């Protein structure tokens, strides 16, 4: 009985708090001070207290694990009818994030926190899948066509690669696509999160 009560408390903590969710899904996840700050910002988005977050973090600080894998899974657990758009500098990278989020939602550990949330039966694509109540996850790279796409949450993780960081043309293309693409595709009350390493003054943050 004590074990069952402890599990319920642990699952409730994971439902309420993003860092607790991360630790439950991945016990070896090392939480730094910057993770707590970032998690609080992301939770503010989910609560509706914020609609724009832009964070600049150097490489190898665990930002993608938290922002692009755990957070969308947690967000959809709490909002399974919402639409999430995941963007990175290549479609392959964004789809890889989508695969990891989808696989996480299919685990028993996830179901213990969000027992009513499941993948739709026909959700086989890593980059485009749905929840059992009509929520949607769509992964794409910079420059992708977005006709007919909407988003309650648009997430942009490293929109430019390190290799293209010094290319003015590449940086201009990112900004032009952002202003005509994801920013125009937000649902009413939608939010945008940009998390990226800064490589130059004319990048998307700049």
The pTM of the full predicted model, rounded to 2 decimals, is 0.92
Beta strand ranges found along the chain (DSSP E):
52-56, 83-88, 128-130, 136-141, 151-157, 186-196
With the C-alpha atoms ordered 141, 40, 82, 97, is the resulting torsion angle positive or negative? positive
Q: Which of 12-26, 71-85, 98-112, 167-181 has the lowest mean pLDDT?
A: 167-181
Tell me what pLDDT residue 2 has: 54
Beta-sheet strand order (sheet of 151-157): 52-56, 186-196, 151-157, 83-88, 136-141, 128-130
Length of the chain: 206
Q: What is the C-alpha to C-alpha distance for residues 97 and 87, in angstroms, rounded to an integer? A: 9
> Using CA atoms, how far apart are residues 192 and 131, in angstroms rounded to an integer?
21
The pLDDT tens digits for 115-169 are 999 999 887 789 999 999 999 999 999 988 887 778 999 999 988 887 777 788 8
């Amino acid at each position: 009985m004590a074990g069952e009560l402890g599990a319920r408390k642990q699952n409730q903590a994971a439902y309420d708090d993003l860092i607790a969710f991360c630790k439950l899904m991945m016990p070896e996840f090392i939480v730094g001070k910057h993770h707590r700050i970032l998690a609080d910002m992301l939770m503010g988005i989910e609560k509706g207290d914020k609609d724009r977050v832009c964070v600049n973090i150097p490489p190898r600080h665990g930002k993608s694990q938290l922002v692009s894998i755990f957070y969308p899974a947690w967000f959809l657990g709490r909002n399974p009818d919402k639409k999430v758009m995941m963007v990175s500098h290549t479609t392959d990278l964004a789809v890889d994030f989508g695969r990891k989020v989808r696989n996480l939602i299919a685990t028993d550990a996830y179901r213990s926190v969000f027992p009513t949330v499941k993948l739709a039966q026909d959700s086989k694509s890593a980059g485009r899948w749905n929840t059992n109540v009509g929520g949607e996850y769509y992964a794409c790279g910079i420059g992708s066509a977005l006709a007919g796409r909407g988003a309650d949450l648009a997430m942009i993780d490293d929109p430019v690669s390190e290799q293209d960081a010094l290319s003015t043309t590449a940086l201009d293309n990112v900004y032009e696509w952002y202003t005509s693409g994801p920013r125009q595709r937000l649902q009413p009350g939608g939010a945008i999160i940009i998390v990226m390493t800064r490589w130059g003054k004319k990048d998307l943050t700049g």
